[in-house]
Amino acid sequence: MDWHFVFSQALTQAIGPTMLIYAIAAIGLNVQFGYTGLLNFGQAAFAAMGAYGLALAVVAFGLPFGWGILIGFGAAIVMALLLGIPTLRLRADYLAIVTIAAAEIVRRLARATVWSEYTGGSDGMRGFSEPFFELSPYNPDANWSVLFVSMDGGRLIVDLGIVDFQYSSRDLWVMTVGWILVAIFLVVVGLLVHSPWGRVLKGIREDEEAVRSLGKNVFAYKMQALVIGGIIGAAAGFIFALSRANVQPDTFSTDFTFYFYVVLILGGAARLFGPVLGAALFWFLFNLLSLTLNQGIRSDLIPREVLAPTQVGPLVFFLMGLGMVLLLIFRPQGILGNRRELMLDVR
Amino acid sequence: MVLSAVLVGLVLGLGVSSTAQAQGETGVKGTLKDQDDNLISEVEITVSDADGNEIATTASAEDGTWSVPLESPGTYLVALDESTLPNGLLVRNGRPQLEVEVRASERTVLFPLDTQLDPNAQPQETEAPGGSDSTGDGEEETTGAVEAEDEIDPEIESAAGPTRAVSLLFSGIHFGLMIALAAVGLSMVFGTTGLTNFSHGDLVTFGGVMALMFNIIVGLPVWAAVIGAVAAGALFGWLQDWGLWSRLRKRGTGLITMMIISIGVALLIRFATLFFVGGERRRYDEYVGQTPWDLGWLVITPKEVYTGLIAALVCSAVGLALVFTRLGKATRAVADNPSLASSTGIDVNRVIRLVWTIGGALAALAGVFLSVNDGVKFDMGQHLLLLVFAAVVLGGLGTAFGAFIGAMLIGIFVQMSTLVIAPELKYVGALAVLIIVMLTRPQGILGRRERIG
């Protein structure tokens, strides 16, 4: 068992590009679910709006990259309005059903062969990310080394002895942009929720009727929260699409949304840093588990009859799901959360 | 589809793989691996154009990779020479030759390789009622990288005009009855506990898997496996309420928390199924290819008729029991107003336990009946769930009869809509109906307005 490799990889992933996707999407979800109590089960669709908005604009319509970003955000806003108008006046679980259905509609439309000459059908699209990587300040052939930090052919290596972190120059650029986005969104959301506006949101979560009786337009506040969360979700979609340089419809499934919830609740809903902490911890645990199991199989510590390499994936997802259920039962406030703040109910 | 493909899909789904792919060049490429991820070298791969003219032959390199550059986008045939494969290795889905559509980029072609080829490996097409071959799906399945999503129920391609409409109507009624079996349980659980149970679809999968176990591993005939699966489904529902939901209710866990827990439970069932059964579509050993009855105006397989009739009987029995038995009346009372029911001496927890048990049994029955037609797959329930939601919302959340009516309407709508729209979009139509109902009549057909907050 190569524990150095396992822990290095797990820690590398805990702050890597993939974790950023989940962190950003969960920040958006935090505005909707954590602060306002909106059960958006279609955050994957908002991410898809961002990713597909960008990819379609650049690849299918030949627009500049910047327009792609704007179209992605625009698509997310339109979708939030479309979903919000019918459902935000209804009880919370109706929004849940409608958003989950809408996310499925988006996924099925994206993989439909009817317009696959534009969307690529189930293969998705690529070829939109080069303008983004051309902006990268990192030289893909850099070679230098300062103390424990070194650059080897554009690959950043931070060797701390016990563990090391390694990122390619492309990952590095995605991470730079991703962490800047996380910082911006945290500041914006932090300012918003501590403003009078944010207090109304929390009021809606606690008791909608009470807020309504104070003369506030609850519907408008909910809609604003849905739109803001959706925009942040679209930003997660950009990072998702750019970090992998392609978009594929089947990656935006309902499971994707569920793991955003896992991340959010693990870190602590309605806590500013909850999503970021949750995403880091989630990806650390996920990689730790799957790498340990894989290494165990490879070094014959786990017999192949007990666990085949192809079964590692399902097993890890199973264990993460189990952890999620147990967490919700015994510590629904997550790591940072306040238990009293999350006694949500719909009746 | 093959397990590895599903796993690739899952891993990609979480974005674990972050390697950027080369862009801009036209061609086909791939990496040959066996089931243990060993790279396979020196396997010959031939690429020819749509007319069969050979363009190039290449062999996979040391690291299993191969690629063939192409001059222009178009349709190409990629063939793997199975005789050059190392000992015992075969292409798992029995398709060493694939037709691929190459666009202006490098296209990855996957050949799933395995040492043990299932001798009964089914071709991937879904079975068409009326014996007509379905010709859809071909494009998707050539990729291998993306899980081809077989529709839960088959298409009817060849028949035209009124005959096709009649066939679609009947398959819609059949599908509606299947949805109804699942929807009654979901709706009653919602009615009595207020829980929107996102794991109900996976109870359907559970039924299909249990029957598979009784049928393939234990070796029982399918009719006995059905009974076993329904009993297992009832037990599973009972256990879930006993071990999880009743305790959560006692703890005073919020409904929204319970709803998210139910998604977690759904994932647990789904990944446990994937772990034990694998990602392929598995079929029972009987009634797979049945000779259909040709009635002239309608071609229908006997299994569809029988499963439909049984489903209709079960649904009516549940309906009659709800209206005429004491327990049924108690159930409706609890669904109407739990505290009032409790104060009249009804044991609310016992009623809820019963609803979970019956709901589990009905969902399992739906699962087996769907699997008799289309085989068992780990995500079949997940795809059905949204249609069940559509049915329940259309009929009115929390009402058993509304769920039945909604299910029939959705089932017929889904099938009949393929007269107008592409079959791959028929679920989209049903889900759009769900959203429109929300917009115009959120309480559903039989619901009452004051239920909506």
Q: Where are the domains of chain A?
A: 3-252
Chain B residues 14-53 within an 8 A CB cutoff of chain A: 14-18, 20-21, 23-24, 35-37
Cβ-Cβ contacts under 8 Å for A180 (sequence gap 6 or more)? none
- pLDDT of B133 reads 33
pLDDT exceeds cutoff 50 at B148: no
Percent over 90 (pLDDT), chain A:
40
- pLDDT of B137 reads 34
Strand, coil or helix: B135? coil
- pLDDT of B205 reads 94
pLDDT exceeds cutoff 50 at B124: no
What average pLDDT does range B401-428 have in this prediction? 87
B160: contact with A, CB 8 A cutoff = no
Q: Which residues share a beta bridge with A149?
A: A146, A158
What average pLDDT does range A319-324 have in this prediction? 87
> Residue A171: which of B18, B140, B432 has the nearest Cβ?
B18
Give the pLDDT band of residue B160 (cuts 50, 70, 90): low
Measured distance CA(A50)–CA(A66) in Å, rounded: 12
Give the pLDDT band of residue B90 (cuts 50, 70, 90): low
Cβ-Cβ contacts under 8 Å for B199 (sequence gap 6 or more)? B262, B263, B265, B266, B269
- pLDDT of B53 reads 67
- pLDDT of B357 reads 94
Measured distance CA(A241)–CA(A49) in Å, rounded: 11
Q: Name the residue with higher pLDDT: B439 or B418.
A: B418
- pLDDT of B49 reads 72
Q: How far is CA B99 from CA B6, B40, B203, in A?
A: 21, 22, 37
Give the pLDDT band of residue A346 (cuts 50, 70, 90): very low
- pLDDT of A228 reads 95
Burial class (CB in 10 A: 0-12, 13-18, 19+), A146: exposed
**Residue B21 token pair:** 């792919």
Q: What is the dihedral of CA B68, B70, B73, B79, to 10 degrees?
A: -40
**Residue B369 token pair:** 């009946």
pLDDT exceeds cutoff 60 at B121: no
Q: Name the residue with higher pLDDT: B43 or B429.
A: B429
Measured distance CA(B76)–CA(B55) in Å, rounded: 9
A-B C-beta contacts closer than 8 Å: 205
| d(CA B13, nearest CA chain A) in Å | 4
Residue A43 CA, distance from chain mean position? 8
Q: Which of A87, A328, A341 to mutate to probe the B interface, most B CBs <10 Å?
A: A328
B148: contact with A, CB 8 A cutoff = yes
Of the CA atoms within 13 Å of residue A18, those in its CB half-sphere come to 26
Give the pLDDT band of residue B450 (cuts 50, 70, 90): low
A240 CB neighbours in chain B (<8 A) are 15
Q: Which of A40, A82, A90, A104 to mutate to probe the B interface, most B CBs <10 Å?
A: A104
A254: contact with B, CB 8 A cutoff = yes
For β-strands A143-146 and A125-126, DSSP reports them as unpaired
What average pLDDT does range B111-129 have in this prediction? 44
Using the beta-carbon criterion (under 8 Å), do A86 and B438 form an inter-chain contact?
yes
Using the beta-carbon criterion (under 8 Å), do B271 and A86 form an inter-chain contact?
no
Return mean pLDDT, chain B: 76
The pLDDT tens digits of the residues spanning A38-86 come to 889 899 999 999 999 999 999 888 889 999 999 999 999 999 998 888 7
Give the pLDDT band of residue B128 (cuts 50, 70, 90): very low
Give the pLDDT band of residue B136 (cuts 50, 70, 90): very low
pLDDT exceeds cutoff 80 at B161: no
Q: Name the residue with higher pLDDT: A150 or A179.
A: A179
Q: Which of B35, B251, B431, B450 to mutate to probe the A interface, most A CBs <10 Å?
A: B431
Does the reported pTM lie above 0.80?
no
Using the beta-carbon criterion (under 8 Å), do A346 and B146 form an inter-chain contact?
no
**Nearest in space to A18 (alpha carbons), one of A174, A183, A158:** A174
Using the beta-carbon criterion (under 8 Å), do A253 and B255 form an inter-chain contact?
no
Measured distance CA(A309)–CA(A297) in Å, rounded: 7
Q: Name the residue with higher pLDDT: B90 or A149.
A: A149
- pLDDT of B231 reads 96
B74 CB neighbours in chain A (<8 A) are none
What chain B holds in terms of domains, given with CATH numbers, is 3-14+22-121 (2.60.40.10), 161-451 (1.10.3470)
Class of domain A3-252: mainly alpha
What average pLDDT does range B95-110 have in this prediction? 68
Using the beta-carbon criterion (under 8 Å), do B37 and A309 form an inter-chain contact?
yes
Chain A residues 180-239 within an 8 A CB cutoff of chain B: none
B420: contact with A, CB 8 A cutoff = no
B15 CB neighbours in chain A (<8 A) are 17-18, 21, 240, 243-244, 251
B259: contact with A, CB 8 A cutoff = yes
Strand, coil or helix: A291? helix
The pLDDT tens digits of the residues spanning B292-343 come to 777 777 777 888 888 899 999 999 999 899 889 988 889 888 888 888 888 9
Q: Name the residue with higher pLDDT: B122 or A254.
A: A254
Cα angle, residue B394 at apex, residues B190 and B226 outer, rounded to 5°: 65
What average pLDDT does range B205-218 have in this prediction? 90
Using the beta-carbon criterion (under 8 Å), do B13 and A250 form an inter-chain contact?
yes
**Residue B124 token pair:** 């991937």
Strand, coil or helix: B105? coil
Residue A76 CA, distance from chain mean position? 15
What average pLDDT does range A250-269 have in this prediction? 88
Instruction: Identify the weakest region by mean pLDDT among A147-156, B128-137, B290-299, B350-359.
Output: B128-137
Which letter does DSSP use for residue B443 in this model? T
Residue ranges of the alpha helices (H) in A115-168?
116-119, 130-134
Instruction: Identify the weakest region by mean pLDDT among A123-132, A330-339, B410-419.
Output: A330-339
Using the beta-carbon criterion (under 8 Å), do A245 and B194 form an inter-chain contact?
no
Strand, coil or helix: A335? coil
**Residue B441 token pair:** 């009549």
What average pLDDT does range B213-241 have in this prediction? 91
What average pLDDT does range A242-253 have in this prediction? 89
- pLDDT of A233 reads 96
Using the beta-carbon criterion (under 8 Å), do B13 and A87 form an inter-chain contact?
no
Which letter does DSSP use for residue A115 in this model? T
Instruction: Identify the weakest region by mean pLDDT among A18-22, A92-96, B33-37, B428-432.
Output: B33-37
Q: Which residues share a beta bridge with B107?
A: B28
Using the beta-carbon criterion (under 8 Å), do B139 and A113 form an inter-chain contact?
yes
Could you give phi then psi for residue B52, rounded to 5 degrees? 95, 5
- pLDDT of B9 reads 41
Q: What is the dihedral of CA B346, B350, B356, B361, to 10 degrees?
A: -100
Q: Name the residue with higher pLDDT: A152 or B206.
A: B206
ipTM: 0.84
The pLDDT tens digits of the residues spanning A94-115 come to 888 888 888 989 998 988 888 8
CB-based contact B353:B246 (threshold 8 Å)? yes
Instruction: Identify the weakest region by mean pLDDT among A291-300, A326-335, B97-106, B273-282.
Output: B97-106
Q: What is the DSSP string of B262-295?
A: HHHHHHHHHHHHHHHH-SS-B--SSSSSPPPEE-
Return the CA Rg of chain A: 21
Strand, coil or helix: B5? helix
CB-based contact A32:A40 (threshold 8 Å)? yes
The pLDDT tens digits of the residues spanning B2-56 come to 444 444 444 433 433 333 333 446 777 777 776 666 677 777 787 777 666 677 7
- pLDDT of A307 reads 81
- pLDDT of A113 reads 81
Measured distance CA(A217)–CA(A77) in Å, rounded: 20
